[in-house]
A = this chain, B = another copy of it.
Amino acid sequence: MAQQGNGKGTVVRSTIVSKALDGNAPGDPHERELYVYLPPAYDESERNYPSVYCLTGFTGRGKMLLNDNAFTPNLAGRMDRLIASGAVKPMIVVMPDCFTYYGGSQYINSTATGNYEDYFTQEIVPYVDQNFRTVADRSSRAVMGKSSGGYGALVMALRHADQFALVCSTAGDAYFELCYTPDFAKAFRRIKGDPDAFMKRFYATEQHGKDDHHALNIIGMSACYSANGTGFDLPFDLETGAIRNDVWTRWLEHDPVRLVEKYVENLKSLKLLFLDAGTRDEFSLDIGARVLTARLREYEISHIHEEFDDGHMGISYRYDRSLELISQNIS
C-alpha cells in the first residue's frame, strides 16, 4: 500500500461534550479535547485500523503526548518512525484528556473528581469508533500508558476486558504499600493540616517545588481512591501524620494487586497483558510489577513481564516496546 509522500501520520483534534463529566465536583470542564493520530496512509484507502489508547500519567493529559522535544519524538513522531521502520503496523492512536483539578483521575469514577472511567469507556471509545475507521472490536483495541496511565490501562484490563483485549502498563501504580506511603510524610508536612488551602496555594503560583508535587500526588490519589461526597479523606491524620486505616483500606481496594482475584476471568480473556518497570523506579513500581506478576501467576493468567535499567521519569522510549508488542498481537 502506498504511503503518503512524507510518511507522516495526521493528528486530529476533536472536542467531546461529556455527559459523564457534566456537573463534576471540582467544576472541571466537561467539554474535553481528544487527540487522535491517524497513520500515514489513512486518507488514501478505506480500510479500518486497529486502535491504541494511550493514557497519560498523573498531571498529564492527551495533548501533552504531542509535546515537542528535540531528542525524544512525541507520540505521533514515534508512531511515524515505528511504522516507517516496520516495527509497528499502521494503527490509530487515541490520546484522551482525563485531567482534573486534583492532578488526575486515575481513569476511575469518583464523586470527588468525576466519572472518568465512564467517560473513557462509554464516551471516548464509542466516539472514536464512530468518527474514525477503527476495527471496532476488543481484539483490535489496545490500551497502554505509563505511571498513572499504566494504572488506567490495568483498570481497563480488570473491568473492561470486553472492550480492550490488549493492555500494556509501564510502571503502572501497583502495590500501594510501597508506591504511595513513602510520600506521606512529605505530603503531610506540606499540606499543613489543610488540603483545600494547599490546593489554593498550589494554583496561586506557577512556582512549585518537589514537595508541592508530593502533596498534590497524595491529594490527587485521595480524591480518586477515598472520596467522601464531593470531598475526600486523606490517608493520614492531619495532626499526627498517622495512617488512617479506614481510609487506607479504601485505597487498597483500588490496588491492582488486590483486584486480580476479583477479575480473573477478564484477565484470562486478554490477548496481551504486558507489564514493565525500571529497576530504579522512584515509586518502587518495579516491585509493584513483580508483586502483580506473582499474583497473575498464582491465577495462571498469561502475561509478559520485563524490567529495564532506569527510573520513573524520562522513560517514554519504553512506549516503543508496548507498541511493538501490541502490533504483534493485535488483530
Contacts and interface: CB of A to CB of B under 8 A. Distances in A.
Interface of A: 59-61, 63-64, 66-72, 99, 103, 175, 177-178, 181-182, 184-185, 188-189, 203, 205-208, 237, 239-243, 279-280, 284, 286-287, 290-291, 293-294, 310, 314-317
Nearest to A64: B68
Q: How many copies does the complex hold?
A: 4
A291 B207 contact: no
B71 A61 contact: no
Contact of A241 (B60, B181, B205, B287): B287
B208 A175 contact: no
A66 B291 CA distance: 40
Contacts of A280: 189
B59 A294 contact: no
Contact of A243 (B99, B177, B203): B177
Contacts of A208: 71, 314
Given A69-B64, A70-B60, A185-B284, A294 B103 contact: no
Contacts of A205: 317
A237 B177 CA distance: 14
Contact of A71 (B69, B206, B314): B206
Contacts of A103: 70
Contacts of A181: 177-178, 181-182
A284 B178 contact: no
A287 B178 contact: no
Nearest to A257: B242
Given A175-B242, A293-B240, A317-B207, A61 B72 contact: no
Contacts of A317: 205-207
